[in-house]
Structure 1
Amino acid sequence: MSSSEFLSQFLFTLITFALLLTLVGAVKRILLWSQGQSSTIHWLGLLQIPRRYLVDLHHVVARDKYMSNTHVATAGGFVLSAILIILLYVFQLKLQILTWTLLGSSLLMFVGSLFVMRRRRNPPPNLSLGKWQRLPKSLMVFSLSFFILTLPATGILPSDTGGWLLAVLLVVGIIWGIGEMFFGMTWGGPMKHAFAGALHLGLHRRQERFGDGQSTGLKAIDLNAKKLGVEKPIDFKWNQLLSFDACVECGRCEKNCPAFAAGQPLNPKKLIQDMVIGMAGGDDAKFAGSPYPGIEVGTHKGGAIIPIVNVLVENETLWSCTTCRACVDACPMMIEHVDAIVDMRRFETMEKGQTPGKGSEILENLSATDNPNGYAPSTRMNWAADQNLTVFGQNVEKQEVTQADVLLWIGDAAFDMRNQRTLRAIIKLLRAAEVNFAVLGDAEFDSGDLARRLGDEATFQRLATSNIRTMNKYQFKTIVTADPHAFHCLKNEYVEFGGHYNVLHHTGFFADLVSQNKLQLDNSKELALTYHDPCYLGRYNGEYDAPRFLLESMGVKIKEMDRSKSTARCCGGGGGAPVTDIPGEQRIPDMRMADVVETNAEIVAVACPQCNLMLEGVVEPRPEVKDIAELMLDALIEGVVENTGEGVVANAVGGEV
């Protein structure tokens, strides 16, 4: 038997055996995922895997051009090579075109492996080491072995080139390469993400995320269930467990997490890897990435039926999250970190009653007074005593107000003197544009955003259904609010409870009015200004253009921060973080204000009452913080703005607030 005949028979046996073992491993992994709770199976999503891989996944990967090109070469080369190897050496299809194509695909993969090795030679801190450090070598050995093996079959080299010595070397290389690239996909190792990741893209819990869709609202849970929230890994949905297994440990989530940057005990990458440990059993001693700040690696363990909090993951880790979705937005595998965190918070809050900091007090206030600060519900409109607002349900000239074009959602800014200034500016702008609007007055309850992010799903659902019941009494075309958190809830999370509304953030609504010339702004002012994107307006709802359009309509040349739009750093005010108050090495709003200072801006424009409070809480000297509505009022030039309560008339440019 010649060396070439031996190689042919050996490859048939080896690859067939490897594929069988890979299949066995796949069954084992599927059994791990099936420990989770039932969830809808989107079978048609499996047909969409190629598109989701090539388009949706690569849309995220492409933010790093180096890794995007590298991934195209390595992953594309591997997938094509694997298919051709099976056709050539298992099904014995001796077609010259397949041989030449394998030569090209293995060469492409080899080139990609060189770039992977270059990145791994001096890896950035967000990359995991350990088993991932051997990946470049495995890619290189696999691709080089099949490239050399294919050369004689193409006729480039004689069939007896190298003889038995080369055959033995190729056998060693092929065993190593196939072991890592095939066997490792389902039995563990760097390539595990390829199998789990592909299925995760197809069976994703949020099918709406793919294509041009969006899905950011938290999913409701049945309050009559035996257990509320997630206590153990088996309490997650099965496709959530699948998503954890898809993690490629690239650390993009870690790199973008504001809590991690602030030195709080959260690293979203390690959290996902801990969930894998919990699903499969074991400890975190082999984790080779950055730890949770202040928490040593190797001291925690878990199992599928073992409670997660304070065994596998410390309680403070869950409560460090601001729910800003920076981790989710940065993840190429589209893992939903925030969903997992809130699911675990739900158990801590509703089953154990253990919400840290002032969280318990806030939730008690929401239950008793329908607002987080515990103010008497009848005082919600005290700030507007001089505004002469039209209130739904109120009698005007002996007739009850039941309809208006716009429902102005006030939100919790009603109880904060600083944000009342923003509300007054909005009201003046609406009147200047002759918008027919009304408010709910004292009948408006908190939107429920804070309760839901703190894990109190019961309080959220009560507030949501109460607000929906109130709003459904009246007729209006649009809801407008200055609070991105309320905007998100009303638009995306009330739908599950029958609340279907056209909801606009005040910047989007005013952008329409300006574009229609119903509001005209002075564009001659020169302001050294930057704009801070609110997480719940930007990453949650994709609104980046309207605020910038308004600023540019005022003649402002925005000095963009390095981290803006989808990569904007959180102000630290979301997810209940200000009330749970988990300590770190620095404050998130201080870090964000440092981003502002780097632009040399004199003013930072905001579009969220929470961002306003967090950034104004930074110790002076610092740039001035102003809502876009306040800046618009300063620049308003069309018509007369009247405030019948205060007797203020603003002519020409500007208006008092």
Structure 2
Amino acid sequence: MYTLNIIAFTILAVAALYGFFGGLYQRYEFLTLGQAANRSDHKGDRWRSFARNVLAQGKVLAEPSGIGHFFIFWGFILLGIGELDFFTYGLTGTHIPGFTAPWFTFTQEMLAAFVLVAIIVAAIRRYIWRPMRTEPTFEAGFILFLIFAIVVTIYSVGAFSALEQGVMPGSAAPMSNFLASFFVGINPATAGIIVQISFWVHTLAIFGFLVFIPRSKHLHMIGAMFNSYYRSLEPVGKIRSLDLSDESVEEFGVGNITQFTWKQLLDGYACTECGRCHVSCPATLTGKDLSPKYLILKMKDHLIDTAPALIAQRKMAAGAENLSLTTVFESMPQLIGDVYTEDEIWACTTCRACEEACPVYNEHVSLIVDMRRNLVLTQGSAPGEVNRTFTNLERHSNEWGRPRTARAEWAQDLDIPLMSEVDEPVEYLYYVGTAASFDARNQKIARAFGQLLKQAGVNFAILGKEEESDGDSARRLGNEFLYQELVERNVEIFKNYGVKKIITTDPHAYNAFRKEYADFGFEAEVIHHTELLAQLIDQGKLTPRKPVERKITYHDSCYLGRYNGVYSAPRYILSKIPGIELVEMERSRNKSMCCGAGGGSMFKEETGEQRINVFRTEQALETGATTIATACPYCMTMMIDGTKAKGVEDDIDTYDVAELLLQAI
């Protein structure tokens, strides 16, 4: 009997391994369709990331549901050691020396118990509780069933192999002992048959799982490990620059699946379909067409559907000079139009809530920006209001379309020097930004900050009419040509004045100057106004003494918080103002929800069931606060509009942190 078992097992093992590695190779071959991307630098940092996020499951454990995943992950790995003895005993009737030690048996039984509890909870959660982020799919149920079968058959083999010998498994195997207690006195021959059935059910479940992995969402078991290792080590949220100098290039951005990089395609394999991004996305939560979860999954499905024909055509093209992939693309569903709608692509606010939540480091925002680039630069397609924004930036270097001569009107009576008028180099350039230069409400922020700088004796100046747009809106709306033109102008101005330090009240400019201007030959120390004000308070140059009796909730700007990690400075300033009671929204700091203005969204019409800024305002109102504090001019506009939409603008004030500090001084 053992000889037949070994033969049958060997045949199944060879077939399963062939199915597993064959499936993996096919998925790898699909990735070769993507464009090159260098993710081989900083190997030490990459291995540390691997240890932290794969072995220690760091990002998975960021939410309570990750605890179950942790036990399943490590339970399976450690149970794999016990599988060696399990198969040896099932095939030969003997155990591997040492594998029957009580401590080892007990450890294996407990690990299997943890896995069993975890999958039962997962099944209840997915099929009974049904939270928004999960789906009760057949595939997910099939995987849970296979894991259940693997664990239960470990116990049944342990229980009935002992009963076959006329003994109980004992306290070293508590779960098997518990199962055996229900079958005391069973015929040994019957127990032996159950052992054989359990062994083969276990074997088929293991091998079935192995074949299924590369062909299912559980490819993430492998894809996520590689994704964590190859994750971007660039500054958080940095957008890669396009080389616009090659005049032979006719297409920009991503218009078909092969124009994504191999790493972007790998994101599809890594996706666990956990839905954390889905329930974090402001577009999804307010009824837009976009879901970051389906953004990734649709890319993966489209790759799997189209890659076999593209690879076959590529192999044919290798021997024929005039053969290209064009005819293949023409006969396939179009990436933009059939796979993704334009509404979907334009709905993103680039807030990075999805990337912050993702446990496997998927990079959703780059997919969106690359497809916007194709729409704008290659297809010439954008919503009317987006095109108007581009026109205003081209003609006036601001999204409002105001004349650049009006840029310094907010400062007329404040005696703030211009860079062009100062005789000696100043310590700081105060880059005001478009919103605070032209929007009446946000001009008050610039005035408050300017007054605070003067009171603290800070040596600074502004550019006035020489100031250009930082270009953030143009880049994230897909117009890389316009963005780079604006950057070149700014860099020339900054270098002409020898700018070494920049302060700004605009988190979007702050992010661009800190992270993205280095690609164009300019680096400086860039400071957000809340960071500088916090330093000035610490240095005793600003002392808030006057009580400001307000119950305040602070709204974290995405480009200040998630993009640049500035959470403490604004709260520190508020904590130093007498009379202020700070209450946090449920979604705050790195889990804060976008106001709806990012990614150029402030300058285009919003679709969906609800406006994002209204949704966020409702969250602020739930705190019972009488004032909403911000540290971003775009957030200021959106939150004020939100209070107006809710009809509470007379009851709820909205202030920048600098304005509140000035009130206290």
Q: What is the TM-score with the length of structure 2 in the denominator?
A: 0.85
| Equivalent residue, structure 2, for 1:133 | 141
Which consecutive unaligned segments of at least 5 residues does structure 2 have? 171-187, 308-328
Structure 1 range deviating more: 10-19 or 514-523: 10-19
CA pair 444-304 structure 1, distance change in 2 beyond 3 A: farther
SS state of the match for residue 503, structure 1? strand
CA pair 334-51 structure 1, distance change in 2 beyond 3 A: same
| Equivalent residue, structure 2, for 1:38 | 36
| Equivalent residue, structure 2, for 1:171 | 200
| Equivalent residue, structure 1, for 2:80 | 82
| Equivalent residue, structure 2, for 1:331 | 358
SS state of the match for residue 494, structure 1? helix
Q: Within the alignment, does 1:143 sit opposite 2:141 as a pair?
A: no
Matches within 5 A, 1:452-491: 452-491=475-514
Q: Percent identity?
A: 31
C-alpha distance in 2 between matches for 1:356 and 1:484: 25
| Equivalent residue, structure 1, for 2:396 | 369
| Equivalent residue, structure 1, for 2:233 | 207
Q: Name the structure with the higher helix share.
A: 2
Aligned mate of 1:418, from 438, 441, 465: 441
Q: CA deviation at 1:83?
A: 5.2
| Equivalent residue, structure 2, for 1:109 | 115
SS state of the match for residue 254, structure 1? coil
Deviations 1:272-294 (A, max 9, x none): 111112211179xxxxxxxxxxx
Matches within 5 A, 1:174-185: 174-180=203-209, 182-185=210-213
C-alpha distance in 2 between matches for 1:487 and 1:481: 6
Task: Tell me which amino acid in the other structure corresponds to 1:118.
Answer: I
Contact 2:408/2:437, CA 8 A, preserved across alignment: yes
| Equivalent residue, structure 2, for 1:60 | 59
Q: CA deviation at 1:172?
A: 2.5
Structure 1 range deviating more: 37-46 or 250-259: 37-46
SS state of the match for residue 629, structure 2? strand
Contact 1:511/1:550, CA 8 A, preserved across alignment: yes
Q: CA deviation at 1:103?
A: 4.6
Contact 1:409/1:481, CA 8 A, preserved across alignment: yes
C-alpha distance in 2 between matches for 1:8 and 1:274: 43
Matches within 5 A, 1:512-523: 512-522=535-545
Aligned mate of 2:224, from 157, 177, 197: 197
| Equivalent residue, structure 2, for 1:291 | none
Deviations 1:393-445 (A, max 9, x none): 32x5xx4x4x1111101101201111111000001100111000111222221
Contact 2:602/2:634, CA 8 A, preserved across alignment: no
Q: Within the alignment, does 1:219 sit opposite 2:240 as a pair?
A: yes
SS state of the match for residue 387, structure 1? coil
SS state of the match for residue 393, structure 1? coil
Deviations 1:325-377 (A, max 9, x none): 11111111111111100110000011111111300011122122221222222
CA pair 84-240 structure 1, distance change in 2 beyond 3 A: farther
Deviations 1:436-481 (A, max 9, x none): 0111222221000000110001111111122112111223442110
C-alpha distance in 2 between matches for 1:421 and 1:10: 80
SS state of the match for residue 18, structure 2? helix
C-alpha distance in 1 between matches for 2:628 and 2:47: 46
Q: CA deviation at 1:588?
A: 0.9
SS state of the match for residue 117, structure 1? helix
Q: CA deviation at 1:633?
A: 0.4
C-alpha distance in 2 between matches for 1:491 and 1:179: 50
| Equivalent residue, structure 1, for 2:583 | 559
Contact 1:429/1:633, CA 8 A, preserved across alignment: yes
Contact 1:355/1:580, CA 8 A, preserved across alignment: no
| Equivalent residue, structure 1, for 2:263 | 239
Contact 2:71/2:115, CA 8 A, preserved across alignment: yes
Aligned mate of 1:499, from 493, 499, 522: 522
| Displacement over 6 Å in runs of 4+ | 90-93, 153-156, 158-161, 302-305
Contact 2:36/2:262, CA 8 A, preserved across alignment: yes
C-alpha distance in 1 between matches for 2:528 and 2:301: 41
SS state of the match for residue 626, structure 1? strand
Deviations 1:497-549 (A, max 9, x none): 12211111101110111111111012643311111111111111111110000
Task: Tell me which amino acid in the other structure corresponds to 2:117.
Answer: V
Contact 1:522/1:554, CA 8 A, preserved across alignment: yes
Q: CA deviation at 1:13?
A: 4.5
C-alpha distance in 1 between matches for 2:628 and 2:55: 35
Q: CA deviation at 1:216?
A: 1.4
Task: Tell me which amino acid in the other structure corresponds to 1:31.
Answer: E
SS state of the match for residue 171, structure 1? helix
Task: Tell me which amino acid in the other structure corresponds to 1:625.
Answer: T
SS state of the match for residue 207, structure 1? coil
| Equivalent residue, structure 1, for 2:555 | 532
Q: CA deviation at 1:582?
A: 3.5
C-alpha distance in 2 between matches for 1:129 and 1:260: 19
| Equivalent residue, structure 1, for 2:314 | none
Task: Tell me which amino acid in the other structure corresponds to 1:352.
Answer: Q
| Equivalent residue, structure 2, for 1:299 | none
C-alpha distance in 1 between matches for 2:21 and 2:261: 23
Q: CA deviation at 1:129?
A: 2.3
C-alpha distance in 2 between matches for 1:305 and 1:406: 55
C-alpha distance in 2 between matches for 1:271 and 1:565: 25
Compute the RMSD of aligned alpha carbons: 2.7
CA pair 145-226 structure 1, distance change in 2 beyond 3 A: farther
SS state of the match for residue 279, structure 2? helix
CA pair 634-523 structure 1, distance change in 2 beyond 3 A: closer
Contact 2:636/2:655, CA 8 A, preserved across alignment: yes
Q: CA deviation at 1:50?
A: 4.3
C-alpha distance in 1 between matches for 2:452 and 2:366: 37
C-alpha distance in 2 between matches for 1:539 and 1:347: 26
C-alpha distance in 2 between matches for 1:525 and 1:8: 81
Task: Tell me which amino acid in the other structure corresponds to 2:233.
Answer: Q
Q: CA deviation at 1:143?
A: 2.2
Structure 1 range deviating more: 409-418 or 216-225: 216-225
| Equivalent residue, structure 2, for 1:647 | none
C-alpha distance in 2 between matches for 1:501 and 1:407: 11
SS state of the match for residue 410, structure 2? helix
Structure 1 range deviating more: 152-161 or 362-371: 152-161
Contact 1:589/1:614, CA 8 A, preserved across alignment: yes
Aligned mate of 1:404, from 426, 430, 433: 426
Which consecutive unaligned segments of at least 5 residues does structure 1 have? 209-213, 284-301, 637-657
Q: CA deviation at 1:61?
A: 2.5
CA pair 494-192 structure 1, distance change in 2 beyond 3 A: same
Task: Tell me which amino acid in the other structure corresponds to 1:498.
Answer: G
Contact 2:149/2:201, CA 8 A, preserved across alignment: no
SS state of the match for residue 502, structure 2? strand
| Equivalent residue, structure 1, for 2:183 | none
